[in-house]
A and B are shown apart, each in its own frame.
Chain A
Amino acid sequence: MTTNVSLRRLRALCRKETLQILRDPSSHIIAFLLPVVMLFIFGYGINLDSTALQIGLVMEDASPEARHFADNLYGSPYLRVTTGFNRQAMQQAMTSGRIRGYVVVPSDFAEKLERPAETVPLLVVTDGAEPNTANFVENYVRGAWHGWLVQRAAERGEAQPIEIAIESRFWFNTAAKSRNYIIPGSITIIMTVIGTLLTSLVIAREWERGTMEALLASPMTRTELLLSKLLPYYVLGIISLFLCVGVSRFILDVPFRGSLLVLLGVGSLFMGGSLGMGLLFSTLLRNQFNAAQAALNAAFLPSLMLSGSFYEIQSMPGFIRAVTYLIPARYFVTAMQTLFLAGDIWPLILSSGLFLLLSAVFFIGLVALKTRRHLE
């Protein structure tokens, strides 16, 4: 077992690896283009807010009261209202997807409103094919309705029908913009993919091109080989992490409240695990294509589905929630969301950091174990 490291040899190997990175357009694409493109897709393409939902309004009652209520719907920033006069037309518009739901103001609207004992029948039809959007439509209409009742009572000098006034505040994401929550998660997914993809190719490439044999026959040690495969890609990965954070902060306008030093620390630990996982596939499979496939599947899918980046872990069934504890990306998502939205919250940073450290040690240790100094 040879574990000694000669700085001269390590420097030479790192230099070789760096030159290869600089001359290989595919690693530039993976490290710099891919993250930016993915960030824009995640940042602009995925939006869990539903501002400006298209809905329809059927006015069967032409009374001033009904029109007054309609004005209130028009005034809502969350709704784009198209008015029509029969239900069939609206039903068709909803079936063809032009509107997400519609509101019917029945012909006896004003009449029943005048009689306090009566319930005012307001029909809200929503598209149940997309329950999330359907909920939004219902809630926004309900909100507009209550707003209108309060306003109407005040205008008429009547007692307000609502005893409790709710004032919502979204902490950490005051504008309640889902982008602010998606971006830290996206960066995690991107960094997982980049980290594993970059290194999944590099040892397999040496085997495929027959250069590994020449290296193995030289006095190079196993530790030198591993370090030379980790260090240059670590630097590349960190550059691309800071690129991602920069783009998020300055182009996508997501606030970043933590410190860059903590970002570097947490990012380094996470890169350790990702790069280690990539190297593991590369070492075991010795074939660039297979290693890249394995890296994508093992890195991308869990970090997308099970890390809490988009899908809340709290709402997963118990045993899947248990599995998420094994996904390093989960801890990085926590750390990134904390750094972006809340700042350096040490208890969270430290506990995620600890798990990231464990995963880095696990994967790099496994690679070291599987790296042989000979061909068998």
Chain B
Amino acid sequence: MTGPLVTLESVRKIFPDVKQPALEEISAQLWPGRITGLVGPDGAGKTTLIRLMAGLLSPTSGIIRIGGLSPGEDAVKLREFIGYMPQKFGLYEDLSVLENLELHADLRGVVGDARAATFARLLTFTDLGPFTARHAGKLSGGMKQKLGLACALLGQPRLLLLDEPGVGVDPISRRELWRMVQELIDQGIAVVWSTAYLDEAELCQEVLLMNEGRLLFYGKPQDLTNRICDRSLQIRHVEGDRRQLLTRVLRRPEIMDGVIQGHNLRLVLRAGCAPPNLLELDAGAGAEWVSVAPRFEDAFIEALGGGPGGDSVLAQKIRPAVGAYQTVVEAVDLTKKFGDFTATDHVNFAVKRGEIFGLLGPNGAGKSTTFRMMCGLLVPTSGTARVMGIDLKTSASDARQQIGYMAQKFSLYGSLSVRQNLIFFSGVYGLKGARQRTVVDEMIDAFRLQPYLDAAPDSLPLGFKQRLALACAVMHQPPILFLDEPTSGVDPVTRREFWTHINGVVGNGVTVMVTTHFMDEAEYCDRIALVYRGGVIAAGTPDQLKAQVSTPQNPDPSMEDAFITLVQGQAHDN
């Protein structure tokens, strides 16, 4: 190892018509044989930086050198030794696995005997051997990701650029990809891995932590985490409502950040502060502080300026949900078939008033199908879906009035302004006149949307888009909220704020059903159903699920460990 492969010196990038620079004074060195993580929320500038290295963009100022060459001037030479996997993997969905490989092999001059050998090696490496004739569009997310990697690896690159390879891929496939990339590192390749998952970042040898185009931290992830050492704590044996306790704890000036972890609270202290007295916080007689290992995310939140606090203005605007039904959402033998494919197979669950119920599972497991049947968007093939005792099959529109639905990707109207979206959605749910105006104004107030009222939703920062989508879902004061992957791609601080609102409305008796692929968010749920291949393979509280997979080697498993062990156990049984 002679020196860094990539050198970035004060790299800036400003796009025309955008005031804020996409990248601001980025300096770093990337070494062969290391995985360098590009970490940050959407809009941090990760993709721009990767495209600069791939020679697809040129910097406004600053210098980029890759193996001594400049991506601008020596583009032709550089393309020979850079492997690039764009977001969405850059595959031709109507071509087969083999045809995709052949195209990239021809483009990169991998021919003759070398080609046969390379294909054999890559197909073994990715386990795609049995699927060479399958069209890329018919592969699962994890297999697409592997094929994208295989295409990027043709021509034996020295620098491998992976742009968010973990998006849309379940934790099992993410771990597998990580293992594969680890092998490449051992061969001396430099890998750049961009991600919004902080648990992935923690595993990188080095990270560039970015937010809004700025480099917040550059170095070993451990060095950043160490800044937090001894400041990460749990409150265990909480008595009473842990959500209300979290709100009280987050009001204390000593606390920088806090989340719910099953039955416990996990908190991070500000530097130099001692944990506040638990009796003062009314946490119950048995409650105690326990020191836990700091996480990279704790440090990230601190680098972003701390958590958002625990009070939800929204909760004060939502009237308490009361009613006769104790079980407000119920699925009985819910089954959905598309042709001969069973997307959901005899799914059963019951959600009580004021509960947060989570549906977790790999992509394609049937979460969204179940979800859509529960809000009357899909008609079940057999079985019953009930909301507030109303059968969705017979009176879907009555049931829908009881539901606030926040769809994946937020489904806002791009051609309407923020205010018009609020007015439209309140109108759809039957609000009108003075009541409508009051509610819209309350939402603008609660979510601090004033500066954006006349803007198009697509121009909003992702966090504000998410707030707007939540506002649109709750304006008609529904007793039930359905949230389908509400926090995808959103930075951790905004995700905290989102959950603060959810905790607040649940405190008012609103029931929440949520799907997520962030395993740490599953910890906010009172109960979880783990969905795999159309069926529920495990259900219970987060603590119960984690306890199920606890072993002497791993006595305190994470939610992700539980997920992977349970799904793989199921896959083995089949």
| Residues of A near any B CB (own CB < 8 A) | 2, 8-9, 11-13, 15-16, 19-20, 23-24, 209-211, 213-220, 373-376
B106 pairs with A216, CB closer than 8 A = no
The residue from B76, B92, B108 contacting A20, defined by CB atoms under 8 A apart:
B92
Q: Which of B52-60, B195-203, B390-398, B566-574 contacts A (4 or more CB under 8 A)?
A: B52-60
The residue from A11, A24, A210, A219 contacting B76, defined by CB atoms under 8 A apart:
A219
Report A250 CB to chain B, min CB distance, Å: 34
B55 pairs with A217, CB closer than 8 A = yes
The residue from A2, A23, A210, A217 contacting B54, defined by CB atoms under 8 A apart:
A217
Contacting residues, chain B, for A8 (C-beta < 8 A): 106, 109, 111
Contacting residues, chain A, for B94 (C-beta < 8 A): 19-20, 23-24
Q: Which of B96-104, B288-296, B506-514 contacts A (4 or more CB under 8 A)?
A: B96-104
Report B95 CB to chain A, min CB distance, Å: 6
B237 within 8 A of A: no
A209 pairs with B107, CB closer than 8 A = no
23 residue pairs A–B, Cβ–Cβ below 8 Å: A8-B111, A9-B106, A13-B103, A13-B107, A20-B92, A20-B94, A209-B93, A211-B90, A213-B84, A213-B90, A214-B84, A214-B90, A215-B90, A217-B55, A217-B82, A218-B79, A220-B107, A373-B75, A374-B56, A374-B57, A375-B51, A375-B57, A376-B58
A217 pairs with B84, CB closer than 8 A = yes
Q: Which residue of B lies closest to A12 (CB)?
A: B106
B91 within 8 A of A: yes
B118 within 8 A of A: no
The residue from A11, A12, A217 contacting B56, defined by CB atoms under 8 A apart:
A217
Lowest 10 A-B CB distances belong to which pairs?
A214-B90, A12-B106, A217-B84, A213-B86, A210-B88, A218-B107, A375-B56, A219-B79, A23-B94, A217-B54
Secondary structure at the A interface, as helix, strand, loop or mixed, is helix
Further pairs besides A19-B95, A211-B90: 10, Cβ < 8 Å: A9-B106, A15-B103, A209-B92, A209-B93, A213-B51, A213-B56, A218-B107, A220-B107, A374-B57, A375-B56
Report B274 CB to chain A, min CB distance, Å: 51
Contacting residues, chain B, for A213 (C-beta < 8 A): 51, 56, 84, 86, 90
The residue from B84, B91, B102 contacting A211, defined by CB atoms under 8 A apart:
B91
B526 within 8 A of A: no
B363 within 8 A of A: no
B327 within 8 A of A: no
Contacting residues, chain B, for A209 (C-beta < 8 A): 88, 92-93
Contacting residues, chain B, for A15 (C-beta < 8 A): 103
A20-B95, A210-B87 are known contacts. Are A12 and B107 too (CB-CB below 8 A)? yes
Q: Which residue of B lies closest to A4 (CB)?
A: B76
Could you tell me the distance between the alpha carbons of A262 and B104 in the complex, rounded to whole angstroms? 39
Contacting residues, chain A, for B86 (C-beta < 8 A): 210, 213-214, 217
Tally of contacts, chain A with chain B, CB under 8 A: 81
Could you tell me the distance between the alpha carbons of A376 and B151 in the complex, rounded to whole angstroms? 24
Give the residues from 501 to 548 in chain B that come closer than 8 angstroms, CB to CB, to chain A.
none
Interface string of B108-132 (1 = CB under 8 A from A): 1101000000000000000000000
Report A30 CB to chain B, min CB distance, Å: 16
A16 pairs with B95, CB closer than 8 A = yes
Could you tell me the distance between the alpha carbons of A16 and B151 in the complex, rounded to whole angstroms? 15
Could you tell me the distance between the alpha carbons of A19 and B100 in the complex, rounded to whole angstroms? 11
Contacting residues, chain B, for A2 (C-beta < 8 A): 76
A20-B92, A219-B79, A373-B75 are known contacts. Are A214 and B106 too (CB-CB below 8 A)? no
Interface size on B, residues (CB 8 A): 34
Could you tell me the distance between the alpha carbons of A211 and B107 in the complex, rounded to whole angstroms? 14
Contacting residues, chain A, for B107 (C-beta < 8 A): 9, 12-13, 215, 218-220
Could you tell me the distance between the alpha carbons of A219 and B76 in the complex, rounded to whole angstroms? 6
Could you tell me the distance between the alpha carbons of A216 and B161 in the complex, rounded to whole angstroms? 14
Max chain B C-beta neighbours (<10 A), residue from A19, A23, A214, A216: A214
Give the residues from 123 to 182 in chain B that come closer than 8 angstroms, CB to CB, to chain A.
151-152
Q: Which residue of A lies closest to B84 (CB)?
A: A217
A376 pairs with B92, CB closer than 8 A = no
Could you tell me the distance between the alpha carbons of A211 and B111 in the complex, rounded to whole angstroms? 22
Could you tell me the distance between the alpha carbons of A264 and B334 in the complex, rounded to whole angstroms? 61
Could you tell me the distance between the alpha carbons of A376 and B54 in the complex, rounded to whole angstroms? 13
A16-B92, A20-B92, A376-B58 are known contacts. Are A217 and B79 too (CB-CB below 8 A)? yes
B297 within 8 A of A: no
Contacting residues, chain A, for B51 (C-beta < 8 A): 213, 375
B106 pairs with A219, CB closer than 8 A = no
A16 pairs with B57, CB closer than 8 A = no
A213-B56, A376-B58 are known contacts. Are A11 and B106 too (CB-CB below 8 A)? yes
Contacting residues, chain B, for A210 (C-beta < 8 A): 86-90
Report A71 CB to chain B, min CB distance, Å: 69
Contacting residues, chain A, for B151 (C-beta < 8 A): 214
B442 within 8 A of A: no
Could you tell me the distance between the alpha carbons of A144 and B493 in the complex, rounded to whole angstroms? 92
Report B392 CB to chain A, min CB distance, Å: 34
Max chain A C-beta neighbours (<10 A), residue from B80, B94, B152: B94
Could you tell me the distance between the alpha carbons of A20 and B93 in the complex, rounded to whole angstroms? 9
Contacting residues, chain B, for A11 (C-beta < 8 A): 106
Report A7 CB to chain B, min CB distance, Å: 10
Could you tell me the distance between the alpha carbons of A211 and B86 in the complex, rounded to whole angstroms? 8
Interface string of B263-301 (1 = CB under 8 A from A): 000000000000000000000000000000000000000
Contacting residues, chain A, for B90 (C-beta < 8 A): 210-211, 213-215
B56 pairs with A216, CB closer than 8 A = yes
Q: Which residue of B lies closest to A375 (CB)?
A: B56
Contacting residues, chain A, for B108 (C-beta < 8 A): 218-219
Could you tell me the distance between the alpha carbons of A220 and B57 in the complex, rounded to whole angstroms? 16
Could you tell me the distance between the alpha carbons of A164 and B57 in the complex, rounded to whole angstroms? 81
Contacting residues, chain B, for A13 (C-beta < 8 A): 103, 107
Give the residues from 432 to 462 in chain B that come closer than 8 angstroms, CB to CB, to chain A.
none
Could you tell me the distance between the alpha carbons of A23 and B57 in the complex, rounded to whole angstroms? 33
Q: Which residue of B lies closest to A6 (CB)?
A: B109
Q: Which residue of A lies closest to B79 (CB)?
A: A219
A19-B99, A210-B86, A375-B51 are known contacts. Are A219 and B109 too (CB-CB below 8 A)? yes
Could you tell me the distance between the alpha carbons of A19 and B92 in the complex, rounded to whole angstroms? 11
Contacting residues, chain A, for B102 (C-beta < 8 A): 12
Contacting residues, chain B, for A19 (C-beta < 8 A): 94-95, 99
Could you tell me the distance between the alpha carbons of A24 and B89 in the complex, rounded to whole angstroms? 21
Max chain A C-beta neighbours (<10 A), residue from B84, B88, B106, B111: B106
Could you tell me the distance between the alpha carbons of A210 and B55 in the complex, rounded to whole angstroms? 16
Could you tell me the distance between the alpha carbons of A210 and B168 in the complex, rounded to whole angstroms? 15
Contacting residues, chain B, for A218 (C-beta < 8 A): 79, 104, 107-108
Could you tell me the distance between the alpha carbons of A374 and B59 in the complex, rounded to whole angstroms? 12
Give the residues from 46 to 75 in chain B that come closer than 8 angstroms, CB to CB, to chain A.
51, 54-58, 75
Q: Which residue of A lies closest to B88 (CB)?
A: A210
Could you tell me the distance between the alpha carbons of A354 and B139 in the complex, rounded to whole angstroms? 50
Q: Which residue of B lies closest to A219 (CB)?
A: B79
B106 pairs with A374, CB closer than 8 A = no
Report B12 CB to chain A, min CB distance, Å: 15
Contacting residues, chain B, for A374 (C-beta < 8 A): 55-58
Max chain A C-beta neighbours (<10 A), residue from B56, B57, B109: B56
Interface string of B410-440 (1 = CB under 8 A from A): 0000000000000000000000000000000
Could you tell me the distance between the alpha carbons of A16 and B90 in the complex, rounded to whole angstroms? 14
Q: Which residue of B lies closest to A224 (CB)?
A: B107
Could you tell me the distance between the alpha carbons of A339 and B99 in the complex, rounded to whole angstroms? 42
Could you tell me the distance between the alpha carbons of A197 and B395 in the complex, rounded to whole angstroms? 45
Report B141 CB to chain A, min CB distance, Å: 14
Contacting residues, chain A, for B76 (C-beta < 8 A): 2, 219
Contacting residues, chain B, for A214 (C-beta < 8 A): 84-86, 90-91, 104, 151-152
A216-B56, A374-B56, A374-B58 are known contacts. Are A12 and B109 too (CB-CB below 8 A)? no
Contacting residues, chain A, for B58 (C-beta < 8 A): 374, 376
Report A42 CB to chain B, min CB distance, Å: 33
Report A92 CB to chain B, min CB distance, Å: 52
Q: Which residue of A lies closest to B48 (CB)?
A: A375
Could you tell me the distance between the alpha carbons of A23 and B84 in the complex, rounded to whole angstroms? 27
Q: Which residue of A lies closest to B151 (CB)?
A: A214
